[in-house]
Chain A
Amino acid sequence: MSVVELKNVTKTFARGNTIALQGIDLAIEAGEFVSLIGPSGCGKSTLLRTIGDLIQPTSGTIVVNGKPAQQARRDRDYGIVFQDPVLYDWRTVAKNIALPLEMLGWDRTRRAKRVQEMTELVELTGFEGHHPYQLSGGMQQRVSIARALSFSPALLLMDEPFGALDEMTRERLNTELLQIWQETGSTIVFVTHSIAEAVFLSTRVVVMSARPGRIAELIEVDLKQPRTQETREDPRYFELVTAVREALARGGADKITEEALVAGDET
């Protein structure tokens, strides 16, 4: 069964008459790691938000875990990670991770136990009592990931989660994310503008093109699991990077204009 199923999804923004998404058909199976990649203004963040029912499509249907997206949101079927960590700076690391658990009405002991597991998972043990401003950007993003995973959602939506980090931190977190993905067996939908990151992480890359935002190509990433540092040196890895790059070029990534950026449906 598909975890996410989009049928003919279209989204128009009234302001400026922008067509952010047009005729999107996409099915994501359980356990997949799917990256959405495309030029600015191609609607990849908008697409992610429609899956999460944070934005409603103008037309088309979205089914998540076999139910309408709105019901899935109400059932807390997914966790979300943004480009910025979006931590509450008045809460400690432990309390930030526990936020969704509070929403779900977990009792204190159960929360504490899960927070401990989560800090271990993202390697932040010992930082539970720290406040976000005392952590580096990479550590803050790990807290954000722990928060999204804390209530064990089967689906994880990630909107350029490592976009604001330096290359080294980014590569380390890529590896950590893959470990988490394999340990938890969750399904991940991952928005990125880095070709290398998309290929390294994904089982499938969705290449999008801009104005109107639509799916240009789907590329299967048949690199063997688990992915390691050696994966980045695999000749097949380079072939796939080239394939994605060419798909982007065909999809009109080279035609990005200021207009597309001004449309500003990315954030």
Chain B
Amino acid sequence: MRPLLRRAALLVVVLAALWGIWEGWHWIGTQFKLTWPFTVDDVTMPHLHRIVQALFQPAQVNGPWLLTILWHASLFTAKESIVGLAIGGVVGFAIAVVLSQSRLVERGFIPYIVASQTIPLLAIAPMVVIGLGTKGVTDWVSVAILAAYLTFFPVTINALRGLQSADPRAVELMHSYAASRWRILWKLRVPASLPYFFSAFRIAAPLSIVGAIISEPAASIQGGLGGAIVNFNQYYSIEPQELWATNLIAALLGITFFSAVVIAERAVVRRAPENVA
């Protein structure tokens, strides 16, 4: 109970500090008419209480609360992101396993895997959405695949390192049992790679949300957080707090994903306490 209380207290303190910094800067900025690094007013930095308030007000006349709209948008984007993360995780790990089998293969393919990440998602989104659309794939699945395109990369790079991290003497031990390549992979290299895999997954989880949000407009999806962001972008000069509120919810979704990975990691990975990253 006590550690839980301490955590709650920490959360309150950090939130209060962030609130203080935001409002403090807002106050200084308006008081002294700061124009550097940006002009501070209610459009560039709406009051935090107005952002929170906006969540509990209808976004349109007689419509539901903004929070209700964003809740449904989050669920939709979460669905895309989870599927994207799963595809990215499986494909990313599979690529790492293939690359780990030979240094030559690794050296040959790594440059293209790195290059794949220099192509912006926006540039390939139309191809994937339209290309898969002609095959009858639903839009949100295309978005999930685009999110996977972003998430497989850290998984591949880290899992590869993990697969190669096995103690050379542990490999010798497996040879002394006349273990086949696949047995060494399954009994030694894969378990040894799990901590690395989860480190990558912590990065990949929020990344999958970013991927989904960016790809939604390309797929003309209105119902997700990406659609909401595009929508509120257009009204920013009048209602800045609505975009800020959307960002807040997107951030909460990212934190939720990250925490879910941490919990999964604790359940799966056993290692010495001093090695816990």
Contacts and interface: CB of A to CB of B under 8 A. Distances in A.
Interface stretch (A28-36, A85-93, A115-123, A189-197): A85-93
A80 B167 CA distance: 15
A54 interface: yes
Interface string B170-207: 10110111110001000110011010000000000000
B194 A100 contact: no
Interface string B143-178: 000000000000000000000000101101101111
Given A90-B270, A102-B187, A133-B271, A73 B170 contact: no
A103 interface: yes
Contacts of A82: 169, 172-173
A84 B175 CA distance: 17
Contacts of B188: 88
A10 B235 CA distance: 81
A90 B194 contact: yes
Contacts of B167: 86
A90 B191 contact: yes
Given A88-B191, A99-B187, A133 B177 contact: no
A78 interface: yes
Contacts of A52: 176
A103 B179 contact: yes
B155 to A, nearest CB: 19
Contacts of B173: 80, 82, 86
B270 A80 contact: no
Nearest to B195: A90
Contact of A73 (B175, B183, B187, B192): B175
Given A88-B188, A90-B191, A73 B176 contact: yes
B177 A100 contact: yes
A267 B273 CA distance: 28
B269 interface: yes
Interface string A63-91: 00000000001111011101010101110
Interface string A113-135: 00000000000000000010100
B119 interface: no
A121 to B, nearest CB: 20
A54 B175 contact: yes
Interface in A140-170: none
Nearest to A153: B176
B115 interface: no
A49 B176 CA distance: 10
Contacts, number: 54
B42 to A, nearest CB: 54
A78 B173 CA distance: 11
B272 A89 contact: yes
B189 to A, nearest CB: 11
Interface in B84-136: none
B264 to A, nearest CB: 15
Nearest to A102: B187
A78 B176 contact: yes
Contacts of A102: 187
A103 B273 CA distance: 29
Contacts of A104: 177
B272 to A, nearest CB: 4
B165 to A, nearest CB: 12
A135 B188 CA distance: 21
Contacts of B269: 90
Nearest to A81: B173
Max chain A C-beta neighbours (<10 A), residue from B177, B269, B271, B272: B177
B270 A74 contact: no
Interface string B244-277: 0000000000000000000000000111110000
B272 A133 contact: yes
B271 A74 contact: no
Contacts of B178: 73-76, 103
A220 B266 CA distance: 54
Contacts of B191: 88, 90
A71 to B, nearest CB: 10
B170 A131 contact: no
Contacts of B177: 76, 99-100, 103-104
Nearest to A85: B169
Interface of A: 49, 52, 54, 73-76, 78-80, 82, 84, 86, 88-90, 99-100, 102-104, 131, 133
Given A52-B176, A86-B169, A88-B170, 20 more contacts: A54-B175, A54-B176, A73-B178, A76-B177, A78-B176, A79-B176, A86-B173, A90-B191, A90-B192, A90-B269, A90-B271, A99-B177, A99-B187, A102-B187, A103-B178, A103-B187, A104-B177, A131-B270, A131-B272, A133-B273
9 contacts: A74-B178, A76-B176, A76-B177, A82-B173, A86-B170, A89-B270, A90-B191, A90-B270, A133-B271
4 closest A-B pairs by CB: A133-B272, A103-B177, A74-B178, A86-B169
